[in-house]
Amino acid sequence: EVQLVESGGGLVKPGGSLRLSCAVSGFTFSTYSLNWVRQAPGKGLEWVSSISGGPTYIYYAASVVGRFTISRDNAKDSLYLQMDSLRAEDTAVYFCARGNSSSPLKGAFDLWGQGTVVTVSS
Amino acid sequence: DIVMTQSPDSLAVSLGERATINCKSSQSVLSSSNNKNSLAWYQQKPGQSPKLLIYWASTRESGVPERFSGSGSGTDFTLTISSLQAEDVAVYYCQQYYSTPLTFGGGTKVEI
């Protein structure tokens, strides 16, 4: 079965860290770009970061640059998001999503995980 | 940054009637490399993750019902649901993947 399964969310204090994981199955992992998208409570979708299949190319939203790090392990079919210096405004459901191309700028997001909840609060 | 503006914010449509959602980008998303518009439409039902409906502005994703169609080019795009069904109640988002930061529209809530 083709699927993406996120994990690693939870409650963390401001300034803290979390590492999200996205386990992939059912397709050739290394040939697709992968993305993180978040959705704050009651709000719309916000793109966070993308990584190419290579993974030669990495992109971040301005709101997370310098605090979040995206990575992938093609041997383990897994995507990661290391989140440091977390703020209250990072509270959201975090989705991993597959791009239907090896390049983040050449494909829409055709497969999504169910999301993992990150809450940043003291 | 390319700003994506959707309209309306919400709309109520009778079963079997047409629903039209508009999306305007602050600059063209037409790619010169393949002459395609880097524009996608997603459907998100309550409590669920988004689902891809349309990509390259008008290509329907596999398995998506034919009542969903996308049109437009450059900066102005439309998602049309030709005959609204009860299961189409959702929030719909447009997204550009022409340049980073990748950006989504604010969403349009479709109700019966």
pLDDT in 10s for each residue of chain B, 112 residues = 999 999 999 999 999 999 999 999 999 999 988 899 999 999 999 999 999 999 999 999 999 999 999 999 999 999 999 999 999 999 999 999 999 999 999 999 999 9
The three-class DSSP label of residue A30 is helix
Phi first, then psi, for residue A17 (nearest 5°) are -130, 155
Nearest to A108 among B40, B44, B107 (CB): B40
Whether A61 sits inside 8 A of B55 (CB atoms) is no
Residues 6+ apart with CB under 8 A from A104: A33, A35, A50, A51, A52, A57, A59, B97, B100, B102
B110 sits in which H/E element? strand B108-111
pLDDT at residue number A102:
80
Interface contact A45-B42, CB threshold 8 A:
yes
- Identity of the residue in B40, B49, B55 whose CB atom sits nearest the CB atom of A114: B49
| Gyration radius of chain B's alpha carbons | 13
CA–CA separation, B47 vs A85, rounded Å?
28
Average pLDDT over every residue of A86-96: 98
Query: Sorting pLDDT into bands at 50, 70 and 90, what band is A101?
Result: confident
The conformation of residue A8, written as its DSSP 8-state character, comes to -
Tell me which residues of chain A have a C-beta less than 8 Å from any C-beta of chain B.
35, 37, 44-47, 50, 59, 61-62, 95, 97, 99-100, 104-115
Strand, helix or coil at B85?
A: coil
CA–CA min distance B16, chain A (Å): 27
Q: Which residue of A has its CA nearest to B52?
A: A110
CB contact under 8 A, A100 and B93: no
Q: CA–CA separation, A114 vs A97, rounded Å?
A: 10
The confidence score (pLDDT) of residue A56 equals 82
* A50, A62, A112 ranked by CB distance to B102: nearest: A50
Q: Which residue has the tokens 């993180």?
A: A36
Q: What is the pLDDT of residue B87?
A: 97
Query: What is the predicted pLDDT for the residue at A74?
Result: 86
Interchain CB distance below 8 Å, B50 and A109: yes
Among B38, B55, B93, whose Cβ lies nearest the Cβ of A44?
B93
Q: State residue B17's pLDDT score.
A: 97
Phi-psi region of B23 (alpha: psi -120 to 50; beta: other; left: phi over 0): beta
Q: Model confidence over A14-73: pLDDT tens digits? A: 999 999 999 999 888 888 999 999 999 999 999 999 999 876 899 999 999 999 999 999
- Best residue of A63, A105, A114, A116 to probe chain B, by most B CBs closer than 10 Å: A105
Q: What average pLDDT is seen over chain A?
A: 94
